[in-house]
Structure 1
């Protein structure tokens, strides 16, 4: 095992979902959503275990509806601000947060991420989502785009084009800072993007120099056909939900194929599979821990967390084929994975909701050190994933179990690093730093 060549990558969700009921657990502080010290402790513990990155899910929406009375996420930090505080207390771990192209303006996202990349010395990342929230109205996102996958990803591509052009508006050596001459910047190496597409206009440079990583790392989570096409051509890292190795292999091959079709090397797109890990010294104790967290979820919250509109179906009906449903589905890729698992195991809607609630709809991985590591190794060796996005239903208590028991065994088997490979997030993920488009043009003699 020590000679195993390919190693896992690991991401740690710093919260276990907007609908999480972990705040009800007697061993967990109900105030952690607005306790910056919680996030710092979580980040430092994950960094000590050499985990690649922290992932912070976020959304601009807060829709006041009856089920929201159970959510601790009604009050939460703005992610760029939070991760700036975490960056100051960590050195190596990546900091990736969500910002929707439907709720933001490209210049603001570009500057926030560039700033975090500088503050963290090259550890920032952006999880690109298309989900519209309340800001989409003010930004002129048409209502009929909400459920139009093609239109949403067309907007996402246009948005990313602007953001990357803005990150490149300063060449890497544009700032001279020459005290003797008094010249701070070479203005010939600052460029105004000339972008005017169907969604956005950009004609001024970004108000901050190029990020240390060139471009902060790009993540994406859509595994619908349109989402995988977009992610395969654009992202560095894809989060996905799969419940079996066979389904994981299909997703893995599809995503890598989209990367190749876009002229990229398949190894430069990493696939991370979500798992909700609950560890115990015995299988029975691990299952007891899972039941303890799951029991805190009111059934209406657990069902709502699936993000599938079941219409008039009874909760004790067999789980349906999602293609027969007429109501909205937030993520068709994740919903399809949930449905395949539920239907293949003859689960009802209620049973599937209870099982999937603690993991953001991702697969629970419950058991001893050997069971968990055997599972992860099997997925890696079957080319069903490049790594795991680890969700902790018990928050920092679960992370403590994972880093103290599971990670050391991954290291012992040669499946995970002993030390970080480099200084930046791209270094540690093995993803190349992008060249500046204007520097490339200068070298080749092409005109802008």
Structure 2
């Protein structure tokens, strides 16, 4: 089969249930087993996924892997630009993306597919129409209203109202009282980190200002019609302040998360670099994984192409490490050691297991298998990224040890050859001297006769 007949197809992943259909369409476009199939998810650093969206994203990723896709997860603010960049690097000739037909047109932001159409010229863009009820998702995990956030919001608005009364009695202009309420809305957004409380407090601040500080006092009506525009501007400004503050906090949390991952990987790399043997590297890596995920870990060494009994790293008081000694679990670990693919719980291979197993391998060798007990839980995409990064670090260190051992063996071999040559040279020199003397004396004796 010629190289020209090989396609490279990429599908864009999203935390949407309809993305399953998009992935299926992209998979159906594969003509040959040699075609490259990529699935890319761009994690927006400005928006955090709630639990339901994260679970749906994990399902979509698992489905893409099940269909043979090579999944990549990248964090970026520029989603369209990152898709275009990845497509160029992987030499993709077909790009599949979904379009929600129920989505309303946004004057301020172009849809992703339109941004891609403007940049992509030599890639076939396949737009898959889907219909999905789009719910305004301003409610993330942090938007769950708690009693503490409600009490805090009420207390701040009460303090703003008291300060407003002081300013009102002192004859200050209304604009000063408005600024006090805006500061209150900003504090609510900053302290509660809750978009619902921020939006409700924006509306409540306008109502309180109208009720207490516009004529007639203690009434929601007003005589001066100019106050209507004041109320509109006030609620817009308050809403913008609360929304921007929540976006800033989400972005800061995302960057803090990325910084935490970098710190973990740097710390792991430094710990692994100090280890000088395969056993030490596996012990260090397994302890790090156990501490990070707070789960029981097992390491199955491989010696002479045969998997050995596991080394256990219990994390909990009621450890589940005994599960790794089960014949079924050992069978899964052996399968991973033979095939070099991860298997077990939440995967497409041997999913009846209670643990998930990963092979620590380089291009030409499998060093061991690591098992992580899950039970009825799942590893989130974020935890999987950390896990794969640490396993990659372990593989690099193991490969370095192997290279150093081969280098040392080569040096020892050269030294042995050099010693052998020196020894033969020395023996030859030691034998040459008496042989020359014997030859000379024999020659003299022959000549005398």
Larger Rg: 2
TM-score above 0.5? no
TM-score by length of 2: 0.22
Which structure is richer in relative contact order (CA contacts within 8 A, separation 6 or more)? 1
Higher helix share: 2
TM-score by length of 1: 0.22
